[in-house]
Amino acid sequence: MKSRTVILAVALVTLASSALESSALAQSPAPSPLLTSDGRPVPVAPAVIARSPRGVTIRATRITTPLKIDGRLDEAVYEQVQPITEFEQQDPHEGQPVSERTEAWLLYDDRFLYVACRCWDEHPERIVANEMRRDSVNLRQNDNFAIALDTFHDKRNGFIFNVTPIGGMLDGLTTDERTLNVDWNTVWEAKVTRTDKGWFAEIAIPFKSLRYTPGQNQEWGVTIRRTIRAKNEYAYTTPMKPQWGVAALFRASAAATLVGLEVPPSGRNLEIKPSAISRLTTDRLATPAVSNDVTADIAVDVKYGITKNVTADFTYNTDFAQVEADEVQVNLTRFNLQLPEKREFFLEGQGMFLFGATGSGNPPLPGSSPAGGASDAPTIFYSRQIGLSNLRAVPIIGGGRLSGKQGKWSVGALNIASNADQAAKAERTDFTVLRLRRDILRRSAIGVIFTDRSVSTVAPGANTLFGVDGTFAFRQNINLNGYVARSETSGLTNDPIAYRGNFAYNADRYGLQVDRTVVGSDFNPEVGFLTRLNVRRTFASARFSPRPKQNRVIRRYSYEGSLNYETDNTNRLQSREAQADWRIDLQNSDVFHVEAFRNYERLTKPLALATGVTVPVGSYGFSHVRVAWAPGQQHALSGTVAFDAGQFYDGTKRTFSMNARYGLSRQLGVEPNISLNWVERAGSSAVVKGTGARTTFTMTPQMFVAALVQYASATNTVSTNLRFRWEYQPGSELFVVYTDGHDTLAANGTPSLQSRGVVVKMNKLLRF
């Protein structure tokens, strides 16, 4: 254990020293008075935007009097500084001017970057704005105004800030133009007003909330977008391809160049967030059982900016009591499900530790099957392995993280210690991850990763892993990616290697993807996630997506076929899935989707689907069809409703699923999540259920209460999770959380209590 600690300490010191030594050498090149560093013309005052064949340039304007952030836009500066008005459509009419007049301003002073907009609308009654809760995924489906800032001007990564007509706020980080982390939060402010002519917004982003290269004069990348949901229209300040979809906001390589910024010098960049936690706990499944146990504790998180682009984070006695419970999922496969990370400490800087990214970067279309084209490629770093064991939370002692970018190098180092926990059958364990990436070419990168778990879960001693990956982007539609990784675990030496290669071409009219993944029989990434061992997977898909001309109802058709073929490492067939898709995208953002599947599965051990329904060992071929409808957010009911029916192994299965939102008002919404599965085989039948509903009432964008009630027939449990969150000051929060779980098979017919807890947590952000 000492050697691993020394290795991490040396790595941290080396990286920090390198950052400090090179910070003086990493000054941004001073742009020419007439041209930017990438050869674009600089707007000459009073102009604030310039266009040329090389791209778009936007000039930020310094102001001497701080703005009052109230959403009114009534200060004199809005008359004195020209607005940005040249927005052009990405969709539905590529290259055409935005259909509703839009004005935007980029201003700054010594502390803040200000972004303001006037989003005029001839039919304000059509504005879609039915969600206020901060960082809700539904905000992206409302009318919104968004800005992406590529502060390193590396044309790869960015900060996202998004505001809606009723003040909903969303912020996030984008990585390699592919991945959006909306769970990243920082300190910023936004206010909105509405009139009978549209809606106006003002945003203030402290420079302290951003990371950028040293030097007073800056060149950043900037993308500004307006979404008009009633028309399913996206308009940008720079040309964007329709095939990029909503992920066009991530395309830092297509962004405008932002000039004119004079950023403040680096301060201490120190943030301290102490927390106080009090809890009342009942756990009848623990050994020994606990009843109404009262405890109190304190925790602290520290963030220190070593430079403006390299940050160290430290956490002690970390507590995640405020995190929402996982949603119930029905699993009728023979493999484990990978659940999303929700804990703030692991979400921040998550993109720095991504390894082996593949695909085009576009999110799946609404209505798509969640299993379509699913991959068995291992996840090399999966942070939910830390602090969780046997579905129980394990106390985290503390740890640290270093992340940032220095020139073309991206670095990440993480070390977390979790404590022993008898109920979870977990030993005290140190988790270490080291990540290093080097930008090459225009939008490509190569990198290495090292992971270490001090106590293996399957063998004596530690578990380690080393991997090398590369992500290569050519033009704007072609991606070629891959990795190779090797694990080391005592006694597991027979083929402990995994590798993957992926090619993706994603144009608007055509798409093609080819993927090859091989996982050795003893590959064991214990700080990662593995679906299956001893597998060779070959996947290929082709898509044709024509857009009918002048059709007022249908925007796009999509026809796609794919084949997934998986064998073991002796080339014996294990799984095969042929899939045909037909999809219609309507002009109003509704999606209608039909999929047909032909499957083959070879079971090496019985598969229990439900009580009394078990599929025996054998080989099975079966077919089924799935139909889905995904209404757009402008409807009171939005989300996805699907029905799947057909053969299932040697029986049949019918599935009704709904993952939706019903907006009762701007503040109140109900989100049902339903999966009902009727399975039959050999005269036996069962209904496998996973149902739940989240009800959210948002008082202000900074305050909400949410209740999540769920039932799972597989475990015969009913659970409740009630959360109140109030951001009483920017970055400072109060949480009150109630949870319980009941067994529905109690002998007397009344659900019996398994666990219950009440937690009050309060933190305070101190910035220096």
Q: For 99-148, write each residue's pLDDT tens digit.
A: 999 999 999 999 999 999 999 999 999 999 988 888 888 888 899 999 99
Question: Which CATH number covers residue 92?
Answer: 2.60.40.1190
For residues 247 and 135, state if they share a domain: yes
For residues 51 and 3, state if they share a domain: no
- Residue 48 in domain: yes
- Which residue segment(s) compose the domain that 84 sits in? 31-262
For residues 244 and 116, state if they share a domain: yes
Distance of CA 44 to the CA centre of its chain: 39
- Residue 228 in domain: yes
Say which amino acid occupies 453: R
For residues 20 and 38, state if they share a domain: no
**Phi, psi for 43 (deg, rounded to 5):** -60, 135
For residues 19 and 94, state if they share a domain: no
- Residue 255 in domain: yes
733 pLDDT higher than 70: yes
Q: pLDDT value at position 585? A: 94
Closest CA to 389 of 431, 328, 434: 431
Neighbours of 143 (CB within 10 A): 26
Number of domains in the chain: 2
Q: If you average pLDDT over residues 351-372, what whole number do you get?
A: 56
Closest CA to 162 of 701, 641, 663, 541: 701
- Residue 442 in domain: yes
For residues 67 and 202, state if they share a domain: yes
Classify strands 55-59 and 256-262 as parallel, antiparallel or unpaired: parallel
Neighbours of 358 (CB within 10 A): 23
User: Among 318-322, 415-419, 499-503, which is the least confidently predicted range?
Assistant: 318-322
Residue 310 and residue 16 in contact, taking contact as beta carbons nearer than 8 Å:
yes
Name, in order, each residue with C-beta under 8 angstroms of 119's C-beta and a sequence gap of 6 or more.
100, 102, 143, 145, 165, 198, 199, 200, 201, 226
Distance of CA 481 to the CA centre of its chain: 20
Reported confidence tier of residue 683, pLDDT bands at 50, 70, 90: confident
Per-residue pLDDT tens digits for 645-673: 999 999 999 999 999 999 888 899 999 99
User: Among 82-86, 94-98, 366-370, 702-706, which is the least confidently predicted range?
Assistant: 366-370
Mean pLDDT, the chain, as a whole number? 88
CA–CA dist 567, 268 (Å, integer): 55
- Residue 207 in domain: yes
Task: Say how many CA atoms lie within 13 Å of 261 toward its Cβ.
Answer: 27
For residues 48 and 21, state if they share a domain: no
For residues 350 and 455, state if they share a domain: yes
- Residue 194 in domain: yes
Name, in order, each residue with C-beta under 8 angstroms of 13's C-beta and a sequence gap of 6 or more.
none
Per-residue pLDDT tens digits for 431-455: 999 999 999 988 899 999 999 999 9
What six digits make up the tokens of 356?
Answer: 């082996």
- Residue 454 in domain: yes
Neighbours of 185 (CB within 10 A): 20
Residue 650 and residue 682 in contact, taking contact as beta carbons nearer than 8 Å:
yes
- Residue 393 in domain: yes
For residues 231 and 84, state if they share a domain: yes
Per-residue pLDDT tens digits for 71-98: 999 999 999 999 999 999 999 999 999 9
For residues 92 and 148, state if they share a domain: yes
CA distances from 433 to 140, 286, 467 (A): 33, 31, 11
Element (H, E) at 471: strand 463-474
CA dihedral 127, 128, 132, 133 (to 10 degrees): -150
- pLDDT exceeding 70 applies to what percent of the chain? 92
What six digits make up the tokens of 478?
Answer: 């072609």
For residues 210 and 85, state if they share a domain: yes
Q: pLDDT value at position 688? A: 93
What six digits make up the tokens of 586?
Answer: 């309507």
What six digits make up the tokens of 61?
Answer: 């304007």
For residues 50 and 147, state if they share a domain: yes
